[in-house]
Amino acid sequence: MINNVAVIGAGTMGNGIAHVFAQHNFHVTLIDISSQQLEKALATISKNLDRQITKGQITEAEKQSALQNIVISTDIDQGVAAAHLVVEAATENENLKLQIFRQIDAIAPQDCILATNTSSISITKIAAATQRPQQVIGMHFMNPVPVMKLVEVINGYHTSSYVTGTIVELSKQLGKIPALANDYPGFVANRILMPMINEAIYTLQEGVADVEAIDTIMKLGMAHPMGPLQLADFIGLDVCLSIMKVLHEGFGDPKYAPCPLLVNMVHAGRLGVKTGEGFYVYTPGSKELVVSEKFRK
C-alpha cells in the first residue's frame, strides 16, 4: 500500500505533484538540491490551495492538512529511504534523470515503485539505469497539475502489470484520469502536440501569418483553449526544443526536425513565460497578451 511518496524536483511540475498527493492525504517528501527552491515551492502550493479555497473546492482546514502532509528535504538519500513511491520531476534532461534513477535505485526500499514525470524520454532507457526495471514506470502529469485531470501512464519494456495497475488506481485516487501509453518517443501527448507547435513556428517563420493570427485561428477554429505559440511559451521553448530533438533522434524522420526559429530563440534565451519573453512578452501581474517586439509588424 502506498502511503509515503517522495517527489524529486521542486519546480513547476514537482510542486504541483506534491500538492496533489498531499491534498489526498499521502505523506509527501519534496526533495530538491536548492533549499530556496523548496521554500518557493511551499509558497506556491499554499497560494494554489488558497485559490482552491476561493473557488469553494476545499476548506481552510483541508489546506492546513495538506501542508502538514509535506516535508521538504535537500537530502535525496534520506528523502527516499522510506518511500513506497518515488516520482521524479527533475528537469527534462536525460543524463540528469539517469543519474537520479541510479541514485534512488540504490537507496529506495526493495518494493518501492520508481516513476518519472518525463514527457518524452524513454522509460525503458531510464529503467535500464536501475536494478528493478519492472518497477519503473512513466507517470506524466499535465501542467498545471492541481487543475489538469490527465495522467499519461507509460509502460517501459519491462514494467510489470502489477506496477501498471497500481499506478492506474493511484492516479484515480488523486482524482485524475489515467490513460495508458507504450514507450515510444514522445509517447502520445507530445508525439502529437509538439509537431503541431513546431509547425506553428514554421508557419510564423515562413510569414504565412503573424503570432496573433496563428493563435487566433487555432483557438477559434479548432476550439483550443490556448494558441500553439502561447502554449509553447507556457511550456518553455527550451522544453519544446528538447522534446523535438527526442522525436527527431528517436524516429530518424526529418518531419520532426526542430524549426530553426525555435532553435534560435532558445539560443537567444527567449524561452517564454519563464524568462519573461518568447512569442509574447510577460509582465508580472498582467494577464494581457502582448506580442514580442521581434514579431510585431
Is the same domain home to 212 and 153? no
169 and 238 housed in the same domain = no
In the predicted structure, residue 297 carries a pLDDT above the cut 80: no
**What residues contact residue 60 under an 8 Å CB cut-off, 6+ apart?**
53
pLDDT at position 160 = 98
Contacts of 22 (CB under 8 A, 6+ apart): 28, 45, 66, 67, 69, 70
Banded model confidence at residue 162, pLDDT cuts 50, 70, 90: very high
- Same-domain status, 166 and 33: yes
Q: Which residues are catalytic?
A: 119, 140, 152, 190
Q: Give how many domains the chain has, as a whole number.
A: 2
Domain holding 274: CATH number?
1.10.1040.10
Looking at the domain assignment, is residue 21 inside a domain? yes
Q: Does the pLDDT value for residue 63 go beyond 80?
A: yes
pLDDT tens per residue, range 211-230: 999 999 999 999 999 999 99
End of a domain among 165, 182, 199?
Answer: 182
Look at residue 1 in the predicted model and tell me its pLDDT.
86
C-alpha distances out from residue 231 to 149, 186, 215, Å: 18, 17, 9
Does the pTM surpass 0.75? The reply is yes
CATH number of the domain bearing residue 16? 3.40.50.720
The pLDDT of residue 296: 84
Q: Give domain status of residue 239, yes or no.
A: yes
pLDDT digits (tens, 9 = 90+) for 262-274: 999 999 999 999 9
Domain final position from 136, 154, 182:
182
Indicate the residue among 158, 182, 206 that finishes a domain.
182
Closest by Cα among 133, 125, 185 to 160:
133
Contact 126, 154 (CB under 8 A): no
Exposed / middle / buried, residue 256 (Cβ in 10 Å: 0-12, 13-18, 19+):
buried
Give pLDDT, residue 285.
Answer: 84
Strands (E), 142-243: 150-155, 177-182
Q: Bridge partners of 138?
A: 116, 154
Does position 48 have pLDDT exceeding 90, yes or no? Answer: yes
Q: What pLDDT was estimated at residue 286?
A: 87
